[in-house]
A and B are shown apart, each in its own frame.
Chain A
Amino acid sequence: MPGLVHVTTTINGNQTDFLCEPRQSLLECLRDVVGMTGSKEGCNDGNCGACTVNMDGRIVCSCLVLGVEAQGAEVNTIEGVASADGLHPIQQSFLENAALQCGICTPGFIVATKALLEAEPDADEARIRHWLAGNLCRCTGYDKIVRAVLDAGERMRAG
């Protein structure tokens, strides 16, 4: 019976140590071990994107990463998006554009959107819809989300 493994990783800029079983996903480790419950479990098989985190500069489904694979990695989660000064422009525009209803998918959408707009702040609607195809929302019908992302892009371009 394999024991617990000590993992040292960087989460939202802070060095974080945790113990996990090798079979545990990064999502389980974030939520149940580290206590960061912002990343959500939807499908637990890579279809819904609710668990999206940024790992070493790429968005990934944290349900499809083992916690032990985060050893030495830079992980950025929804908890790191807002700053001490307030909400991130993406979060603000999701609020103002009513781009969420139940909110379960929202952390994944925001983490995915942040990766897109930081690289391509002028992403157009087609690009946004393509980029966010791995994030499912059963409430909004997506239009409000896409409008929020376009609006956030505008805000980020304006600085």
Chain B
Amino acid sequence: MRAIDYQAPTSLSEAVSIMAANGDRARPLAGGTDVLVQLRGGRREADVVMDTKKIPELNTLNLGDNGLQLGAAVPCYRIYQDSAVAAAYPGLIDAAGMIGSIQIQGRATVGGNLCNAAPSGDTIPPVITLGGEAHINGPNGWRTLPAENFCTGPGRNALENGELLVAIQLPAPAANSGTAYLRFIPRNEMDIAVAGVSSTVQLDASGQTIQSARIALASVGPTPILATAAGDSLAGKAVSDEAIAEAGRLASEAATPITDMRGTIRQRHHLVDVLTRRTLNIAIRRARGEE
């Protein structure tokens, strides 16, 4: 790695000044599990590495009436070790508990997963289906962006020069709602998704009718994909194998995968179909309080 300057601001205003002063020569550091590898391998360059872990707003993990405020520098283990957060957002826990190894989960963050904008980022689909918003601060103040609009291409995100992802806000889970994330990998652990799907459903009080659903896909396009038509197809439908199969078909249609060392186009379309049906069934059981 070429020489860098290391800065560890302790306030958001200080951090934004550093980012604004250095533009694209500054690189925020959270868990470092992607950015340090990229800097070392020459895939990214920076003059200034700005550690974000000492900034209070980025370290906040706060579950309240408005949902979850998830600071961009909060590592995965803090999310799944918080029993109240784990109970409220099991779909997020599915993903946070499967990224990399225990060692990686001790450092890696959901905020970093979003900023790294890998199409395969496991935590991104559940953040999208849960209705997550990215809270961004920069030289021009605050703005928010729906999570599905945050990633703009492989390794590219919507942050402008000088801007910093501060937190991800997840709305409080609606009554009778559930979320699940599954990915396919050829091993049990420590791999990158060939395909991943998150499903969030909201049922009516009887638990028999789907009021709304959101489905998001990983590793089957240049960015994580919100499969809008697939989710919308379930709205107002009774829970049935036919409705779930139709959503799986539509989600598969929304995928735009490539063939690479991990899988083929055909396999990935098939995986999206299967994983959509499986995650919908888990999300429905969770919405009913059955698991």
Contacts and interface: CB of A to CB of B under 8 A. Distances in A.
B36 A1 contact: no
B75, B77, B101, B107: which has the most chain A beta carbons within 10 Å?
B101
B3 A134 contact: no
Nearest to A133: B189
Interface residues of A, number: 30
Interface string B85-105: 000000000000000111110
B65 to A, nearest CB: 30
A19 interface: no
A77 to B, nearest CB: 14
B4 A46 contact: no
Contacts of B37: 45-46, 64
A131 B75 CA distance: 17
B49 A66 contact: yes
A43 to B, nearest CB: 10
A23 B36 CA distance: 9
Interface residues of B, number: 31
Contact of A5 (B1, B6, B40, B49): B6
A60 B103 contact: yes
B67 interface: no
Given A2-B3, A68-B6, A134-B190, A25 B102 contact: no
Interface in A10-69: 21-23, 25, 44-47, 49, 52, 55, 58-61, 64-66, 68-69
A61 B103 contact: yes
A45 B3 contact: no
Nearest to A71: B8
Interface of B: 1-6, 8, 29, 31-33, 36-37, 39-41, 49, 51, 53, 75, 77, 100-104, 106-107, 188-190
29 contacts: A2-B4, A2-B5, A21-B3, A22-B3, A22-B49, A23-B2, A45-B37, A45-B40, A46-B37, A49-B101, A49-B103, A55-B106, A58-B77, A58-B106, A59-B102, A59-B106, A60-B106, A65-B32, A66-B6, A66-B49, A66-B51, A68-B8, A129-B188, A130-B189, A133-B102, A133-B189, A134-B103, A134-B190, A135-B101
Given A59-B106, A64-B32, 13 more contacts: A5-B6, A22-B4, A22-B6, A23-B1, A23-B3, A25-B36, A61-B103, A61-B107, A64-B31, A112-B102, A131-B102, A133-B189, A134-B101
Interface of A: 1-2, 5, 21-23, 25, 44-47, 49, 52, 55, 58-61, 64-66, 68-69, 112, 129-131, 133-135
